[in-house]
Amino acid sequence: MQWIEEHLLDDADPELQAYVERLGAEMARQMDVPVDLQLHFYVVDGDMENAFTTLGGHIFVIDELLTVVDNENSLAMVLAHEIAHAVNRDPLTGTGRGILFQVLSSALSGGGMDAPTSANLGIEMTLNAYSRTQEEAADSMAVGALAARYGHVGGVTQFFEKLGETTDDDDVPTIMSSHPHLDDRIEAIKRQVQREGWVPGDVSPYPASIRALVSSEL
């Protein structure tokens, strides 16, 4: 982790870091996090709208993601999804080896966060690293945590909807894909919300200082 931080990841604004840490801690309190799992949140500078989880409960948020999910509730959903992966130990199913391979490849090529080899890091981890079952389980846990934290599920699907505007996965048959199609994920979340009787609600905007920082990223 120290090597990754020093060689591949540029720190984002410390105020963004503190905000995401607080929000991540709040969402973790809504979830059944094992006592032996210490969560660590990192906001890093990059040009991907993404977040990912590595071994040991290390959760990374690329600051560009905060320009896509434009409210606290939607960001909380993303963080809860990544926390769920950590709680379920999903990175132990092979993601760690994939991360190591890509990190070393990037290092050998002299690349940084903007190099093609490392730019694929977050994409591979969030879209390809976990099975459909693991992604669906993480979505389900995250929706429950969102409802518990805010008393409603406003903003629950915004990230997937925004991702769908720039990602075309319709050409990939579900059986050949290691992650659920975005439309399927959104529909599964809506079914869960209806089944549980959760209601939509108004989302909370980012605090003014965070909005200013996010706007500067546009």
- 13-38: pLDDT as tens digits: 899 999 999 999 999 999 999 999 99
pLDDT for the residue 48? 77
pLDDT at 126: 42
The span from the CA of 71 to the CA of 52, in Å, is 19
Residues 6+ positions from 25 with CB-CB distance below 8 Å: 39, 41
Average per-residue pLDDT for the chain: 80
Task: Please report whether residue 71 resides in a domain.
Answer: yes
Is 166 a domain residue? yes
Asked if residue 218 belongs to a domain, the reply is no
Which residues span the domain enclosing 151?
A: 2-206
What angle do helix axes 72-87 and 132-150 make, rounded to 10 degrees? Answer: 130
Average pLDDT over residues 70-87: 96
Residue 212 lies in a domain: no
217 falls within a domain: no
Q: Region 126-135: what's the mean pLDDT?
A: 67
Give how many domains the chain has, as a whole number.
Answer: 1
In a domain, 216, yes or no: no
Cβ atoms of 57 and 31 within 8 Å: the answer is no
- Answer yes or no: is 90 within a domain: yes
Q: According to the model, what pLDDT value does residue 175 have?
A: 38
Residue 215 lies in a domain: no
